[in-house]
Chains A and B, each alone.
Chain A
């Protein structure tokens, strides 16, 4: 067995891109190379990483969630209103959201519906609910979430600890646990999973429910950082989360995903934004430059894929 297996190799490019980007940021702004600096750089990556893991779980079973952004916005609104003023009701609502995700997984499978369209419809539903809940920006983050998000553990900033923790937990669930093998199997070859005696229905429902859990956590973390919420707070998470999974070496079909890569992808995307503001690029071209970074990193993958093709798994 080669130590540099294909799966490990898939992590090389994302990790390298992150390292290069980080080095560039330190080069331009040496003061970022500190406890506070790192925390500031990666703070907002925590909710994005959670949303990326949620998207990754959906992509594991060959689906795509176009409602991720509106859903995280909605859970952020719930967190800043009900969870703060009436914790029991807040928890019930968030649990209900996870239930809705499980139901979506079931309905999409049973009726053989395209996930893109169903989640597209759901994005209107979540968006509508969020606007009903908070027509204007407002709400207050519950103190305990705020306390966790701004806590200052010794030596390593919270944002880094949280990212490592998210990556580790997701890695264990998706790569190591039996459940993870089954859901990746559903993405890879549904029929063989059925033949092996597993319930595809149950696997898909749990994958969706788990994605719901991670997305709810993303909303809660986001409110912990921003202290208040609004209905459009996380709309860009839909595209960020998809890009994060792909940047991290995941693929749209076939159950080939990498949780560690997904977290690295989310960190890279967050860092790219800071990097560009350090570069003093004209604000007009900020988004454009992000697109360019995305293209460059993905072009690097081409080299990797060639290599993988030669070693032939």
Chain B
């Protein structure tokens, strides 16, 4: 019984167990030669999922039906516009970052405006706005690839003390989010709204402010991730955010955050992001075809979810 209770207390444990397991299986195949490189690659690519995943986590924690589907489009638009404005010029980096953040803020405001003023369910509201954002990105640049400024490209691809800079950045974002969630009033409010919106309102929680703030945070993190991703990959592409639609939701839920809302979990996002990347690279290492890779990824995700499920019905 005490073991069960310990697992209740740490819903994120499964994602780390799974990630380490997959890492071990992969380096077993290569004979340990690529263990370090693999861990480095995993940290780099997981950083993007972690950043967008944390935003998505706060949104999902707001309660049933809350999810942000505009993350991929936001990433694309922020990356495209910021890179075009910086125009490979190192001296404009600050402007570029501010523009990306402003785009995130604007999208957050629009998303919550649709949800609050027009009372559109969040899934559909963010879906509709993502269509418009995607169109804006297409018409702004028509998919022409502009190189990132050298300093930003250098920062996003380099490592410090053997650990990718992006991983440090993701750690910083996670730390801030963790403090806000566990120690700050904002986290209490988000959880309270997610557990019972009416009760939260009666207890004096500024429900609308909290929800608006959360959609803003999510959009800003997405725009930041979009900027970093486009710098990392040497230019913004129109479909570059696409895979983060499912990934951002998957890392949140595999990481042990309650889908029904009210209970968030940041360490789990790290475990789940590393896990998802490692699964794909494990299957690559074993030479699996694209079909097999997708198939096994799905099977493994479901297996982890079932293994981690808390309460089987009596």
- B interface residues, Cβ below 8 angstroms from A: 64-65, 67, 69, 114, 118-121, 123-125, 127-136, 138-139, 142, 246, 249-250, 253-254, 259-260, 289-299, 301-302, 305-306, 309-313
How far apart are A277's CB and chain B's nearest CB, in angstroms? 14
Q: A114-B260, A122-B302 are in contact. Are A288 and B313 (CB under 8 A)?
A: no
Q: Which A295-313 residues have a C-beta within 8 angstroms of B?
A: 295, 298-299, 301-302, 305
Interface pair B136/A120, CB less than 8 Å apart: no
Pair B294/A116 contact, Cβ less than 8 Å: no
- Which residues from chain B contact A252 at a C-beta distance below 8 Å? 64-65, 121, 123
Tell me the count of chain A residues lying within 8 A, CB to CB, of chain B. Answer: 50
B306 in contact with A128 (CB, 8 Å): no
Selected contact of A120 from candidates B139, B246, B306, B310, CB within 8 Å: B246
- Whole-angstrom CA separation of A107 from B309 in the bound complex: 11
Contact of A242 among B123, B260, B289 (CB under 8 A): B123
CB distance from A51 to the nearest CB of B (A): 16
Knowing A128-B297, A299-B118, say if A291 contacts B131 (CB, 8 Å).
yes
A110 at the B interface (CB under 8 A): yes
**1/0 contact string of A231-252 vs chain B (CB within 8 Å):** 0000000010011001000011
* Bound form: Cα–Cα A138–B131 in Å: 29
Contacts of A117 in B (CB 8 A): 249-250, 253-254, 259, 301, 305
Contact of B313 (CB < 8 Å), options: A112, A242, A305: A112
Min distance, Cβ B296 to any Cβ of chain A, angstroms = 7
Stretch in A18-26, A32-40, A152-160, A279-287 touching the partner: A279-287
Q: How far is the CA of A130 from the CA of B295 in the complex (A)?
A: 9
Identify whether the interface residues of B are mostly helix, strand, loop, or mixed.
helix
* Complex Cα–Cα for A125 and B120 (A): 31
Does A298 lie within 8 Å of B294, measured CB to CB?
no
CA distance A282 to B139 in the complex (A): 9
6 A-B pairs with least C-beta separation: A288-B135, A291-B131, A128-B295, A124-B298, A128-B294, A132-B291
Q: Are A285 and B254 in contact (CB-based, < 8 A)?
A: no
Residues of A within 8 A of B132 (CB): 287-288, 291-292
Q: Is the CB of B309 within 8 A of A132?
A: no
A243 / chain B contacts, CB cutoff of 8 Å: 124, 127
B250 contacts which chain A residues (CB < 8 A)? 117, 120
Contact across chains for B298 and A286 when beta carbons are under 8 A apart = no
Q: Do A302 and B119 contact each other (CB < 8 Å), given the known contacts A286-B135, A291-B129?
A: yes
A195 cross-chain contacts in B, Cβ below 8 A: none
Q: Are A289 and B297 in contact (CB under 8 A)?
A: no
Please name all residues of chain B whose beta carbon is closer than 8 Å to the beta carbon of A113 when the two chains form the complex. 305-306, 309
Which residue in A110, A290, A295, A305 is a CB contact (below 8 Å) of B114? A295
B65, B128, B293, B299: the one within 8 Å of A294 (CB): B128
Return chain A residues, CB-CB under 8 Å to B120: 295, 298-299
How long is the Cα–Cα vector from A235 to B139 in the complex, in angstroms? 23
Contacts of A129 in B (CB 8 A): 291, 295
Q: Cβ of A109 < 8 Å from any Cβ of B? A: yes
Asked if A121 and B298 sit within 8 Å, CB to CB, the answer is yes
Chain A residues near B127 (CB-CB < 8 A) = 239, 242-243, 291, 294
A287 B135 Cβ-Cβ under 8 A: yes
Show 5 residue pairs from A and B whose CB-CB distance is below 8 angstroms, ordered by the A residue.
A110-B313, A130-B291, A132-B289, A252-B123, A291-B129
